[in-house]
Structure 1
Amino acid sequence: MAKPTIIIYQAEENSSRIKVQIPYVMKTEREKFKTFHSAFYHPNQKLWSIINTAENWERLQKEFEHKIEIKKLAKFRPLPQKTTNEKIQAELAKAEQKLILKAFSPNTIKAYMNEIKTFFSFFETRNFSEINKAEIESFIYHLISKYGISETKQNMCINAIKAYYEHVLGQPREYYDIQRPKRSLNLPNILSKSEVAKLLQTPKNIKHKAILFLIYSSGLRISEAINLRVKDIHSADGYIFIKAAKGKKDRRTVLSPILLKLLREYYRAHKPSYWLFEGQEGGQYSAKSIQNTFRKAVTEANVNPWATVHTLRHSFATHLLQEGTNLRYIQSLLGHSSSKTTEVYTHVLAINNKNIKSPLDFLGDFGISGEGEPKSGP
C-alpha cells in the first residue's frame, strides 16, 4: 500500500495563499501544520492553506521533507479577448445607449457590456436578432465546459443577454426562459465579535479607522460608504441616510454614538467638503483604498484571512441577531427587498449559538476526557 502523501498545490505568482491537502491519517503532520502562522482550513474544499510567502514555502518543504508532492491546481483557460469588428462595435454602442436610457446603474452597464461583447464575438458572423434560445444555451454551455465560468458569471451572462434581447431589440419576455444554474446555498463568512474588535482597533489613521467603524456599525456595502455625503449623517436624529443604494432604494440605518464621536474627530482632522470620505486629490474615496485598508487591518489583527470588507456587513447582521434584534428591523437596515435574503443569517446564528446543544450532549459524556482536541479543522 502506498504511503500517504501531503500534496502542496503550486501557487501562482499573484496567489495570496498556498493550498495544501493533508490526508486524514496523517494526524501528526496536520497538527504540525496548524502551528504555521495563518494556517486555515477550508471545509468545502477539504484543503488547508497558509499565506503565500517564500518563508512559508521553505518551511513547508523543511518540515515535511520526503512526505510531500507538489502539484498544479487544475485551471480552465481564460476567456479570449477578441478584436471586435465594425458590426459588433456598432451593436455594442446601440446596446449601451439603450441601457443608459433605461437607467441601469453604471456598474451594471459595464458588467453587461463585457458579457454582451463576448456573446457577439462568439456569433460574429450571424445576425444577432436571429439567434434562438437553443443556440444561446449552447453558448452558455460552451463557456462552462471550456472556460469553467462560475455560477455568478453564468447568471451575469444570461442576464446581459436577456437585457439585450428584451430592452435593445424589444423581443418578448418569453424568449428569455434560459436554463439557470442551481444557486449554491453558501453561508456568509462572518467574524466573531472579538475578531471585529481587534480589527477595528488596528488602524492608526483616523480616516481608515472611521471607514471600518462605519461599515461595521451601520451594515453598509462598500459602495454605500463611498457614496455617503457629509449631510447624510443625521446626528440629531440618530441615523445615517443611504441614498439610491442597490436597487436604487433610499433607506436609513443606525448611527452608533461611538461612531458619531469618531466621525466628529475625523471631520475636525480632514474637513471633507461634500463626500464624507474624499481622496487626497478630492472627489470620492475609492473602493480599492478601502479594500487595501481592510486587508492591512486583517493581517495586523491576525483574524480570518479570508474575510473581505463585505464580511463586516455580514457580521453586523449576525451580531444584531445574536443580541435579539428582530429580523424585520435587520432587513430594513440592510436594505433587503426580501426577508428570505436576510434569513440566511439565522442559519449562521443557529450554527454559532452556544445556547443550543447537540442531542449528543443529553446522553452523557461517555467518559471522554477531551485531551488532545484539535484547534481547528477535522
Structure 2
Amino acid sequence: MKQAITMSKTASMTVDGAFELFIRKCKVKNLSENSINSYWQKTIIFKDFVGHETDISTITENTVDDYILYLRDNTKANEITVNSYLRSVRAFLYYCMECNYLERFVVHLTKVEKKIKETYTDDELERLLTRPDIGKCSFTEFKTWVFENYLLATGNRLTSALNVRIQDINFNDGLITIRKTKNRRQQILPLSNTLSGILMEYLEIRGGTGEEYLFCNVYGEKGRSNRTRRICTVSKREDCR
C-alpha cells in the first residue's frame, strides 16, 4: 500500500536567516530606508540575546519576557525605549509567525507612565526666535534660526523639512510642497507672509538652484537630521544665543 502524502514540516530556520527574509519582505513592501534601518538597529540586541544561529522556532512568549527583563537589567533603556525595541522585535516575530517559522503568541508592550513633556518657556521661545545679527552671525547660526521659524510655521517632521528643495517653495502662490512624509503622501501647505519674508532673505544668502535642498550645511549639501537636532536643542541655551 502506498504511503499517503502529508504536508511536510517547514525546514529549520535560524534567527539570522529569518531576519534576512523579514528585511527582504520589508523591501518588497517598499518600506522607507529609515524604517528598514530602524528594524536593523532595534533588533540587534534581541538577536544577540537569543543567539544568531538559534532555531527561530524555539522563540516563545517566555523568551520575549526574559528579553524585557534583560533590557531593564543590562541597559540604560527606559520603558519608552524598551517599547521602541519591542515594536521592532514584534514586527519581526509576527512575520515569522505568518510564515509558520514559530508558534503564534502575542507580544505585549510594557506599561509606561505618561509624563508631561517639557516645553519651552516664554523666555526660551523669545530667545529661540530672536533674529541673529546678520553682520556678525555665521551661516549656520542664521540657517538654524530660519529652520526654527520654518518648523514652527509648518509643523513639519524633521525628515520632511530636510527634504524640502528650493523649488518646492512657491512664493508667487504662497505654497510649500512637502514631498517626503511618513505616509508617503505629498502635501501642499500654505506659506505665510512672515515665513515667506524669512525664506526670501535666507535664499539671498544661501543661493543654490531649484533642485538643491532648502536647508543645507555650509557646503551646500543636504542637512543631516542628527546634526540639526543637536543644533536646535542647544540653541535654547543662554550661552548659545
Q: Among residues 11, 20, 33, which one is paired with 1:106 in the alignment? A: 33
Paired with 1:301 and 1:202, the residues of 2 have a C-alpha distance of 16
Q: Among residues 162, 174, 183, which one is paired with 1:226 in the alignment? A: 162
Normalising to structure 2: TM-score of the pair? 0.75
The answer to whether residue 168 in structure 2 is matched with residue 239 in structure 1 is no
What secondary structure, in the 3-state scheme, does the structure 2 residue paired with 1:197 have?
A: helix
Equivalent residue letter for 2:175: Y
Coordinate RMSD, CA, aligned? 2.9
The answer to whether residue 92 in structure 2 is matched with residue 164 in structure 1 is yes
Q: Among residues 115, 118, 121, which one is paired with 1:189 in the alignment? A: 118
Paired with 1:283 and 1:96, the residues of 2 have a C-alpha distance of 30
Paired with 1:281 and 1:191, the residues of 2 have a C-alpha distance of 31
Residue of structure 1 in register with 2:23 after alignment: 96
Equivalent residue letter for 1:186: K
Q: Is the 8 A contact 1:238 1:255 kept in 2?
A: yes
Paired with 1:200 and 1:301, the residues of 2 have a C-alpha distance of 15
Equivalent residue letter for 1:288: N
291 and 256 in structure 1: CA distance in 2 versus 1, 3 angstrom threshold: same
What secondary structure, in the 3-state scheme, does the structure 2 residue paired with 1:240 have?
A: strand
Residue of structure 1 in register with 2:78 after alignment: 150
Residue of structure 1 in register with 2:54 after alignment: 126
Write out per-residue CA displacement over residues 263-303 of structure 1, whole angstroms, 9 at most, x where no aligned residue: 11111222232211123344311123323432443124789
Deviation at 1:131, TM superposition (A): 1.2
Q: Is the 8 A contact 2:16 2:47 kept in 1?
A: no
Deviation at 1:214, TM superposition (A): 0.7
Q: Is the 8 A contact 2:97 2:104 kept in 1?
A: no
Q: Among residues 224, 233, 237, which one is paired with 1:286 in the alignment? A: 224
What secondary structure, in the 3-state scheme, does the structure 2 residue paired with 1:153 have?
A: helix
Paired with 1:163 and 1:146, the residues of 2 have a C-alpha distance of 23
Deviation at 1:238, TM superposition (A): 2.7
Equivalent residue letter for 2:24: Q
Equivalent residue letter for 2:35: T
1:6-85 mapped onto 2 (5 Å cutoff): none
Residue of structure 1 in register with 2:11 after alignment: none
Paired with 2:233 and 2:89, the residues of 1 have a C-alpha distance of 35
What secondary structure, in the 3-state scheme, does the structure 2 residue paired with 1:298 have?
A: coil
Gaps of 5+ in 1: 1-86, 304-378
301 and 150 in structure 1: CA distance in 2 versus 1, 3 angstrom threshold: same
Equivalent residue letter for 2:170: H
Equivalent residue letter for 1:190: T
Q: Among residues 156, 172, 177, which one is paired with 2:106 in the alignment? A: 177
Deviation at 1:99, TM superposition (A): 2.0
Paired with 1:302 and 1:278, the residues of 2 have a C-alpha distance of 20
Paired-residue identity, %: 20
Gaps of 5+ in 2: 1-13
Bigger strand fraction: 1
Q: Among residues 211, 214, 217, which one is paired with 2:147 in the alignment? A: 211
What secondary structure, in the 3-state scheme, does the structure 2 residue paired with 1:241 have?
A: strand
How many residue pairs align between the two structures? 216
Residue of structure 1 in register with 2:203 after alignment: 267
Paired with 1:202 and 1:129, the residues of 2 have a C-alpha distance of 59
Moved over 4 A (4+): 87-92
Q: Is the 8 A contact 2:15 2:54 kept in 1?
A: no
Normalising to structure 1: TM-score of the pair? 0.50
